[in-house]
Structure 1
Amino acid sequence: MPAWHAARAMAACRNASSRYCCARWTMAPAVATGACRRAEAIFRGIGVQGGSAGARMIWVFALAAVALLLLAVHPFVIYPLTLRLFPERDLAPVPSLGADRPRLAICMSAYNEARSIRRRMERLIEAADAYGNATIHVYADGPRDGTIEILREFGDRIDLLVSHDRFGKTYGMNLLVARSDSELVMFTDANVMHDADVIAKLVAPFGDPEVGCVSARLVYSNADDSPAAATGAAYWRAEEAIKTIESRTIGLIGVDGAMFVLRRSEHRPPPPHLIDDLYLSLVVLAGGKRLVSAPDALVYERSATEAEEEFVRKRRIACQAINVHRALWPQLRRLPWPAFYGYLSHRLLKWVTPFVLLLAALCALPVAVALLGVVPVLVLGLGGAALLWGARALHFGPAERIVAALLSLGGVALGGIDSVWGRKTYAVWQPAESVRD
C-alpha cells in the first residue's frame, strides 16, 4: 500500500474510533477524542497493516519499564525481603573479654580536622584506655589548618606520622598498619564520635574463628539540620537495616570506613588509588572469612547538610567503589552462593541504579506519548520539573528532599562515568565542610 494511502487510512481509523468512544462514554469532546484515539491506537492497532506490530511494541516498552523499575528497587526492597528466606547464622559461642584481650592497633587518617580533632582524639584515647590493650596510630595527610599542631599535643599517647604533602587516606593507612604488629587492626574516620566501650563490642565477635571483619553501626546525628541531611540520614538508616539482616544471614557484603576491625592475617595492603574500607572488607570476603555487624557498637557522624555537597560526595564515593569492584572482580566473581547473590544485589546493582532508572524512563516515554500525546507529555514533564525546582526555591520540605535524592542519583551516575570512562580515582579529596563540627 502506498504511504499516502496508509496515512489516510490511519487518520480515518482514528476519527472513527474517536467518535465511537465519545458517543459511548459521553466524555467531554476535546478530552475524549485524544484519549479514545490513543486507546484504539494501542489496544486495537494503528492503521490498516501496522497496527498489531505497533500495539505489541507498546506492550514491550511497558513491560520493559516495569522490569527495569523492579531491578532499580531490588537492592533496597526486594533484596532485603529475599534475605529473610535464608537461615540465620549464629556466631560461635564467644567468651566474655577478660583482661587478656587481643592486641589492637587503631589507625586513623586526618586532613584539615582542626575544628574537631581534639575532641576526636580525647574520645579515641578514652576508648583505647577502656579496652586496655590498644595503641593509636594517626597519619596526618598534609593538613594546612593546624591539625598537626593539635595532634602533637597528645605526645606519646599516639604514634603520629606526618606528611606535608597529600598522598591520600589509603596510602597513609598502609603506612600505619606496617608500623604496628597487633593481632587486630581497627580503621576509623577522623570525623566520627563514639562511646568508650565501642572497641570491646567490635572485638567480641572475633571469638568466632570464622569471622574476619567486624563493622560498627553508623548513625547520622544531624538529620534535623536540613532536608538534605534528612534525606541522607533516611537512606543510611535503610542501608544499616539491610546490613543487619545480611549480618544475621549471609554475612555482610563489604563495610564502610566509619569504624571497622579486621584480623591482621586477613589484611592485604590496597593500592593507594583505591579506597581502603571497601577493598579490605571485600578481600576478606573473597578469602572465605565472614563479615559481621556489631549492631550495639554505635558510631556517630554528621551528614552533609547541602544537597550540592552530597552530590559531590556521592560522585566521589561511587567512583571509588566502582574502581574497587573492577579491581577485585576476578576474585569476587568466584564468590560462592549466597555471597555472590548478596554482592550482585547490594554492591553492584545499587551503583547502576541511576542508569537503570534512566532506561526505565526511556521505555515508559513511548507508552506515555501513546496514551497522552506528545504535547501533554512535554507539558507534564517540563511543568513538573519547573514546579519541583520552584518549590525547592521556596524551601518546601518534600520538594527539597526529592531534589536532594535526585542530585544524589546524579552524583552516583557521574561517579560511574568517572570510573569507567574518566579513569579517575579520587585518591585525595576535599571533605564536605558541613560534615565537620
Structure 2
Amino acid sequence: MEAPDLLLGAILLLCVAGLLWPFLIYPLILRLLPSRPEAPGGGAPPSASLLFCAYNEAAAMPEKLANLAMLKERHPELEILAFDDGSSDDTAALIEARGDLVTLVRGPGRSGKARGMKRLAAIARGDVLIFTDANVMLDPEAVGNLLARYGDPDVGGVLGSLHYVGEGESATASVGSLYWRIEERLKDEESRTGNVLGADGSIFSIRRALYPQFPDSVLDDLTVSMAVVFAGKRLVKARDVIARERLVTGRGDEYRRKVRIAARAWHTHAYLRPQLRRMAAIDRFKYASRKIVRWFGGLFLMAGAVAALLLAMRISPWLALGGVLLAVVLLILGWRAKGGPLAAIVDILIAYAATLQGVVKAMSGRTVTVWNPAKSR
C-alpha cells in the first residue's frame, strides 16, 4: 500500500473513531471506572425555590401551572418563581393570574434566559435552587427525591432525568429521542463515577450558595451546573427525579435549536476555559469526551467522507462516482421519507451540521442570547 493510501486510511479511521467516541468508546471506558458512592442522607431536607423562564409559552401554561399546583400541594414550603422575557402572547397574564402559586418577575423586553434566571436566583430564598423550563412537567415525586440527595454534604448539585414525549411523531422526534436516551445513560455513568459534566435546562438544581456570576451571553444551564464541580462539590444525577417534555418534530425547528445551543455552548466553553483547566484529570477527560469531541462531529464526518472518496478514486474513478451517486440518491430518499432508517440518517446528518454551524458561529464571535419556542413541539 502506498503512502497516500496509508494517510487517507489513517484519516478515515481517525474520523470514524471521533464519531464513535462519545457514543460507544467513551461509555465503555466509563463502565470500567470504579463507582463513587454518595454518603447516606439524614435530617430534614433543605428548603427549595423552583425557577423557570418563559417566552410566548401561553399554549403550555395551563398544563405547566397545573403541574406546579400539584407540586406545591405536595410541598407547601416550595417557593416558585417565574421570569417572563417580554412575551407577546398571554404567558405573563396566565402566570400572574396564579399569584397565589407563582411569583412573576417581568423582564423589560427580550433580554434572554440567562439574565432572567440571574434575576430569579437573586431573589430566591430556598437553600436549593431548582431550575426547569416552561414546557417541562415534573413527576409528583420529583422535588422530594431531588432534595433527598442533598443529605450528602458533598453533593452540591443534582440533575434529574428527562423523558421525552411524542417519540413516534416524526423521524426528527425519533432521532432526538434516541440521542437523548444515550445522553441520559452517559450522565448516569458519569454520576456513578464522580461528577456529571454539565446539565441541561429541563431539570437540575444546585445549592444556592454555589450560584455563580456570569455574563448574559453564556449558556446558563452549563455555567451554573459546572460551578458545582469548580467548587469541589459533586454534581450527580438522580434517575428518580423525572421531568417530561414534548419532542420537537420539525426539522427546521430542531436545526435552529441545535445551532443556538451549540453556539452558546462553545461561547460558554471559552468563558469557562480557565476553570475547566483546573479540574481534576478525570473530569477534564469526561468533559472533552462528552462535549468537545461531539461538537466537532460534523468536521469528523466531512473529513471522513472526503478521505473515503479519495481512497475510492485511487482504486477506481468509477467506484468513486458510483459511491457519490448512491449517497445522493439515499439522501434524497431520506429527505422525502416521513420515517424509517433513511429519514433517521438524514436527521443525524442535519444534527451534525447544525452543531458544527453553531460552533463555527461562536468561534467567529457571534452568539445567541434569546430564544423562541419551537412551533412543532
Does residue 349 in structure 1 map to residue 296 in structure 2?
Answer: no
Aligned residue pairs, count: 377
- Deviation, structure 1 residue 396: 5.2
* Among candidates 10, 20, 38, match of residue 73 of structure 1: 20
* Among candidates 173, 183, 198, match of residue 142 of structure 2: 198
- Deviation, structure 1 residue 164: 4.7
Paired letter, 1:388? L
Does residue 224 in structure 1 map to residue 168 in structure 2?
Answer: yes
- Report the equivalent of 1:410: 353
- Report the equivalent of 1:170: 114
- Deviation, structure 1 residue 366: 2.1
Does residue 366 in structure 1 map to residue 343 in structure 2?
Answer: no
Secondary structure in structure 2 of the residue aligned to 1:433: coil
- Report the equivalent of 1:335: 279
Per-residue CA deviation, residues 396-421 of structure 1 (Å, 9 max, x unaligned), is: 52221111111111100100111001
Secondary structure in structure 2 of the residue aligned to 1:202: helix
Alignment gaps of 5+ in structure 2: none
Aligned-partner Cα distance in 1 for 2:56–2:334: 36
Q: Rg larger in 1 or in 2?
A: 1
Aligned-partner Cα distance in 2 for 1:116–1:278: 24
Whose RCO is larger (CA < 8 A, sep 6+)?
A: 2
- Report the equivalent of 1:431: 373
Secondary structure in structure 2 of the residue aligned to 1:327: helix
Per-residue CA deviation, residues 258-311 of structure 1 (Å, 9 max, x unaligned), is: 011100111103211112111111122122111100101111111110122211
Paired letter, 2:360? I
> Bigger shift: 354-363 or 384-393?
384-393
TM-score using structure 1 length: 0.83
Aligned-partner Cα distance in 1 for 2:275–2:119: 25
Q: Do the aligned residues in 1 keep the contact of 2:334 with 2:345 (CA within 8 Å)?
A: no
Aligned-partner Cα distance in 1 for 2:337–2:14: 36
* Among candidates 97, 102, 109, match of residue 158 of structure 1: 102
Equivalences for 1:169-318 in 2 at 5 Å?
169-318=113-262
Per-residue CA deviation, residues 30-81 of structure 1 (Å, 9 max, x unaligned), is: xxxxxxxxxxxxx4xxxxxxxxxxx122112102211221122111110110
Does residue 419 in structure 1 map to residue 366 in structure 2?
Answer: no
- Deviation, structure 1 residue 430: 1.5
* Among candidates 71, 82, 92, match of residue 148 of structure 1: 92
Equivalences for 1:57-68 in 2 at 5 Å?
57-68=4-15
- Deviation, structure 1 residue 116: 1.2
Paired letter, 1:82? I
Task: From the superposition, tell whether residues 64 and 188 of structure 1 become closer, same or farther in structure 2 (CA, over 3 Å).
Answer: same
TM-score using structure 2 length: 0.96
Q: Do the aligned residues in 2 keep the contact of 1:389 with 1:399 (CA within 8 Å)?
A: no
Aligned-partner Cα distance in 2 for 1:307–1:410: 12
Identity, % of aligned positions: 33
Aligned-partner Cα distance in 2 for 1:69–1:210: 39
Task: From the superposition, tell whether residues 197 and 396 of structure 1 become closer, same or farther in structure 2 (CA, over 3 Å).
Answer: closer
Alignment gaps of 5+ in structure 1: 1-42, 44-54
